[in-house]
Structure 1
Amino acid sequence: MAQRVAVNDSSASKRPSRVRVAVRLRPYVDKQDEKAEGPCVRGLGPQSLEIINWRNATETLQYQFDVFHGENSTQQEVFLSSVKPIVPHILSGQNASVFAYGPTGAGKTHTMLGSQEQPGVIPRAVREVFQLVRNHEKDQDEWKFSVGMSYLEIYNEKVLDLLSPSSQDLPIREDKDKNIIIPGLTQTPLSSFSDFHAHFVPASLKRTTASTKLNQRSSRSHAILLIKVVKCQRVPPHRRQTGKLYLVDLAGSEDNRRTGNQGIRLKESGAINLSLFTLSKVVDRLNAGAGGRVPYRDSKLTRLLQDSLGGSAHSVTIANIAPEYKDYFDTFTALNFAAKSKNIVNKPFVRETVLTSTAAGKRVREEQDAGGSAEPQNKKLKEGKRAEQPSPTQPHGPAADSTVLDRLLALEKMMLGTPEKDRLNLLKTVAQSRKEIQMLKEKQKELEEKADLLNKLTGDQSDAKDPTEDARASKSLFRTDLPPLHRKQSVAKSKKQAVVTPLQVSQVQPMVCKPSQTLEKKRKRIQSEISEGKENSGLDVSGGEENWESRLDSSLLEQSKMKILQTLNSGSIKELKSLQLIGDKKAKLILGWREINGDFTQVEDLKKLEVITDKRFSSFIKANILSVMGK
């Protein structure tokens, strides 16, 4: 079954990108003011300007920005220098945003929309998107593209869908990947620029506007256009990249004494000024640094712009200002906001998913950051318990218990994420288990000495038998397919989590010879004890020896590796996780590697995964081979 796993491009992930700031000076509208006092703002170059110091008219304050567009600048110049450079990012799975800021009547809507003769940023940016899509489809046959749009306004702190005017106030949510989403917002697919124009123009006319003393068609809401580009790979591994372009036309701040707002206009003005004030607080907090809460949630506007300011988008701010003296303080405020905005640093990254084929099919998408995350503690405890408990398909008794090595591996795995106090208890448990292993080894040595003594006493009988029998009996002491030792266990529960208490290994009772027993009965009893696996403790499974493979039969060793290799090449996530030391994350990485590179040719290919070091691979192969042989 198909499954999409979200990944990040680690090479380009979280690469800093400063917010670019452009300032555009509107031409004179009030000719009478021009003749009386002249402009209060003057450009000094392609990146700098100055404004009269209101405290001292003989002085000026100078500002430096990325771009300064004078009063004679054209719509094309604004687009080419400020907006066009960030548009290609959305075709590679990254986000970008452009928003116009400034006081009412400063020309924000003209900059973003323009006119039929002089189209603004929005129509030019959308046309550029379709042009880039056509070029990429010609050059890259393995990729297919789809473009869609959404259009909304924030009016009186309500999110309204302009493509579906009948909808009510829409909620703003944040998904598990920290992406801002609006459930219920209309998403319209687009096939061409003319298709976009047919949807956008009627929706723009539905935006809330009104006449004030300063502007005949004043925007009473913040309008946000979202262009979404999805790039899908036609061939395996079917990568999918999603990029979004936010084009924002903000409503202007208003001085109600000058605009003459009353009634509903006054309420609208209050909502606009409050959201812009919150926007200014967000910028101040981002510039202050040193952590702390950024007040994104204090308004709907800043919540939607969370990705554009201090988030993961390539952002451009176009501050629109007016040259008249009567707009001096509004212009001064806009310039200060623009100066603070250019210090904000975003961290864009590629949003990509990879389609993998799994038998489970019910697991959902998982966003994997550059470092990943540890498995939950309760999951580790469950896996540890599962390793200790016998399979329901196996009979009860000594053959159904885990081996000493399985217990130690389970305990060491549980120690990785346990609290300090519980970890010390587990360390004591491991030490006690190793001590018990040593006692069993000494018991085996005692049994071997008794066997040698009996062989000497019954030498006459053994001479008549096959001379290789003693060699086979001696070799059987190191068999790996013997049933494991029976050990008792107890589980203690704490307030926070289950902790396995020290294991109790049942003592092998020493063999006591009765005077009435004959030598032949003694020899048969010792051979019976050996065949029942009581000398199995002679094989050192504590994990401390490097030549453990030399103790195993080569054919059995190769057969075990083939079983592990078969599971790596054909196993589902559930089957991969049944391997020792393989969790959910490593299982998905193995599936992804298999989709891209094909089957593993040998078990050692597992080390090609970045998370599998030589040390981890050694532990993995040892644990799984001994586990397979113990079955």
Structure 2
Amino acid sequence: MAKRVSMMDGHVVNKKPSPSRVRVAVRLRPYMEKEEDKACVRGLDSQSLEIVNWRNQLETMQYQFDAFYGDKATQREIYTGSVCPILPHLLVGQNASVFAYGPTGAGKTHTMLGNPNQPGIIPRAVRDLLQMTRGENGKPVEENWIYSITMSYVEIYQEKVMDLLEPKNKDLPIREDKDHNILIPGVTEKTINTFSDFDEHFIPASQNRTVACTKLNDRSSRSHALLLIKVQKTQRIPPGRQLTGKLYLIDLAGSEDNRRTGNQGIRLKESGAINSSLFTLSKVVDALSQGLPRIPYRDSKLTRLLQDSLGGSAHSVMITNIAPEQKYYFDTLTALNFAAKSKQIINKPFSQETTQAPVQSTLKRPRDDLENSAPSKHPKKTKTDSAEESPDTSREKKNLQIAALDSAVVERLLKLDKILSEKGKMENKLLSTPKRERMALLKKWEESQLEIERLKEKQKELEEKALAAEARMEKSNNSDFEFSDSSVNESAFRAPLKTRATSTAKAKKVLRVLPLQGVNQNAKEEGIAVVEKKKRKAHAGRENEPSWEMNVRTDLLKNGREKILNLLNNGSIKELKSLQKIGDKKAKLIVGWREVNGPFKNVEDLASMEGMSVKLVTSFLKANILSIVAS
């Protein structure tokens, strides 16, 4: 495997990168024009297709690629056949790239994003990467390695790199480091540990992408979108190797014929920028396929970001989307010619591995100087001799060796040696601790925590007993007074109970004083029994309390549930925010969950979302149904 190792003092290439050809797949969009039966292209087998020759309608031209997917191919087939095989390269520190190319309206965005019923390449790739790095029950796949996954999402709009995760970051620069890696300084990076984390960041960012309506597409992409998934694999034990793999998922905007799209004004300016960047991309592909000395990567922002994917260090897959209708003939022909040239491009992937070089001390010890100056006087000792030598003898020799140095230097060296020796002993002690002893220590610590919790509970019980005894004492004292008026305010009897807000220290003090005041054990037990009886009575009252649903008519309850469920499945973010206890964040989470998992079957399905519990769903349902009934 080709590998590039990065040390602290520089970068070293161990082996030559192994060549890897750009894999090209073609996907044929289903026929959309029902009134026309004429198609200009058709598939022959799983790798080849043919298109009518525009010079002679009786002839056809055949193309062969790595894969051909007909109009009935599913999203799963495309992902499994072309994208899934390149994901394991990320775990060994190599880069991978997947981008969709084709004319506008050919289905590029559908291929990359998909819909809740048919997820596209992006959600499937992210989900598989999370499963590959986390394993079962969220544990790491490899015991001695730690995985970290981050995401960045940008768009290229009119030759400006815009941060979709943070829209305030506009016109970001593109740089190249000393190892020829392309990067975007200042771009936002979000850590993702679960697929819900990805949804939380990706769905709002996708809504920030620039789209517009044209005559050919209701939501036409007006920019090139690039999602970067970075996978870092770090070794827990020395030498602390780190492998970094990057996955580029790119949704290119389609080339446009303004005579058919009807673009005017700002739409015309956008299509001009799109066509210009795609023309530069075709020049880069021509230069790479012909082996020219200069590759015009820097002529556009798009080709600059694709420098790793085309002729760079990534395992690249290009999915060319085409349309079968006759009116898209020349767009289809141009896309197939571009794909045929891209198939000849050779990339050179390598593993990006970094490791920390051993730190060498610049201070030469005096002992080494003495050994180098007079090797015959200091013969090399065996292990037996060094074992028999006492610590006092070795310390005396060390002091003799540094006696010739300045006194201030000697003092500093001795202090440093002492600190390093103590630190080394502590580290060696920790490293030499057997696993069984560490487990025993952990178990003992857990038992001590449980004992602390038990003592806290016992202390709480003692405080309650003290408060009950105090209440009993106050009650017995107040019983000595006679009140002739039966309508005396009840607060006069409750006044002594205000002392229940006493602190722990006061409660303990009461326990020591009570025996001196003549409060016997029977009074204590009687007071505790009264408190327990009141608790049981209050608990029984709560259990017998009728549910809020019993107070609502059945038809109103059913009607309210249907309205809420309909709004959860069909409502926009603004409409969802009109519900009680639903804010902007939860509304976006509901829309994301709905796109991935489909419509809600009942309102209680909200509990399966992250951040929602059964108790919250019950409160949400109660508030909204009562609001609907009141209105």
TM-score scaled by length of structure 1 = 0.56
- Counterpart of 2:330 in structure 1 is 329
Select the residue among 4, 7, 17 that pairs with 1:14. Answer: 17
**AA aligned opposite 2:113:** L
**AA aligned opposite 2:31:** Y
* 1:221 has 2:239 as partner: no
Displacement of 1:135 in angstroms is 3.1
1:79-94 alignment runs, 5 A limit: 79-94=79-94
Deviations 1:22-49 (CA, angstroms, capped at 9, x unpaired): 0000001111122xxx210010000000
Displacement of 1:556 in angstroms is 6.8
Displacement of 1:91 in angstroms is 1.1
Decide whether aligned partners of structure 1 residues 186 and 554 sit closer, same or farther in structure 2, where only a CA change above 3 A counts: closer
Displacement of 1:85 in angstroms is 0.4
Aligned equivalents of 1:283, 1:68: Cα separation in 2: 21
Question: Which residues of structure 1 form unaligned runs of 5+?
Answer: 362-479, 482-552, 560-631
Displacement of 1:351 in angstroms is 0.4
Decide whether aligned partners of structure 1 residues 57 and 101 sit closer, same or farther in structure 2, where only a CA change above 3 A counts: same
- Counterpart of 1:608 in structure 2 is none
Deviations 1:526-551 (CA, angstroms, capped at 9, x unpaired): xxxxxxxxxxxxxxxxxxxxxxxxxx
- Counterpart of 1:555 in structure 2 is 376
* 1:298 has 2:299 as partner: yes
Aligned equivalents of 1:360, 1:278: Cα separation in 2: 52
- Counterpart of 2:316 in structure 1 is 315
Q: CA RMSD in A?
A: 2.6
**AA aligned opposite 1:302:** T
> Does the aligned pair in 2 maintain the 1:226–1:247 contact within 8 Å?
yes
* 1:31 has 2:28 as partner: no
Question: Which residues of structure 2 form unaligned runs of 5+?
Answer: 1-6, 363-371, 381-631
1:178-577 alignment runs, 5 A limit: 178-289=180-291, 291-359=292-360, 555=376
Select the residue among 152, 155, 169 that pairs with 2:154. Answer: 152
Decide whether aligned partners of structure 1 residues 142 and 160 sit closer, same or farther in structure 2, where only a CA change above 3 A counts: same
1:110-129 alignment runs, 5 A limit: 110-129=110-129
Deviations 1:369-390 (CA, angstroms, capped at 9, x unpaired): xxxxxxxxxxxxxxxxxxxxxx
* 1:77 has 2:43 as partner: no
Aligned equivalents of 2:203, 2:175: Cα separation in 1: 28
1:93-172 alignment runs, 5 A limit: 93-135=93-135, 138-172=140-174
Aligned equivalents of 1:80, 1:8: Cα separation in 2: 35
Decide whether aligned partners of structure 1 residues 283 and 214 sit closer, same or farther in structure 2, where only a CA change above 3 A counts: same
| 3-state DSSP of counterpart to 1:166 | coil
Aligned equivalents of 1:155, 1:102: Cα separation in 2: 18
Displacement of 1:101 in angstroms is 0.1
- Counterpart of 2:60 in structure 1 is 60
Aligned equivalents of 1:278, 1:182: Cα separation in 2: 20
Deviations 1:554-613 (CA, angstroms, capped at 9, x unpaired): 837977xxxxxxxxxxxxxxxxxxxxxxxxxxxxxxxxxxxxxxxxxxxxxxxxxxxxxx
Displacement of 1:166 in angstroms is 1.1
**AA aligned opposite 1:20:** R
Alignment size in residue pairs: 369
> Does the aligned pair in 2 maintain the 1:19–1:316 contact within 8 Å?
yes
Q: Which has the higher helix share?
A: 2
- Counterpart of 2:591 in structure 1 is none
- Counterpart of 1:606 in structure 2 is none
> Does the aligned pair in 2 maintain the 1:8–1:351 contact within 8 Å?
no
Decide whether aligned partners of structure 1 residues 121 and 558 sit closer, same or farther in structure 2, where only a CA change above 3 A counts: same
Decide whether aligned partners of structure 1 residues 306 and 238 sit closer, same or farther in structure 2, where only a CA change above 3 A counts: same
> Does the aligned pair in 2 maintain the 1:18–1:345 contact within 8 Å?
yes
Aligned equivalents of 2:109, 2:12: Cα separation in 1: 36
**AA aligned opposite 1:307:** D
| 3-state DSSP of counterpart to 2:168 | coil
Aligned equivalents of 1:292, 1:554: Cα separation in 2: 59
Decide whether aligned partners of structure 1 residues 7 and 128 sit closer, same or farther in structure 2, where only a CA change above 3 A counts: farther
Deviations 1:172-217 (CA, angstroms, capped at 9, x unpaired): 0111111111111001111111110111011001100000111111
| 3-state DSSP of counterpart to 2:148 | strand
**AA aligned opposite 1:192:** T
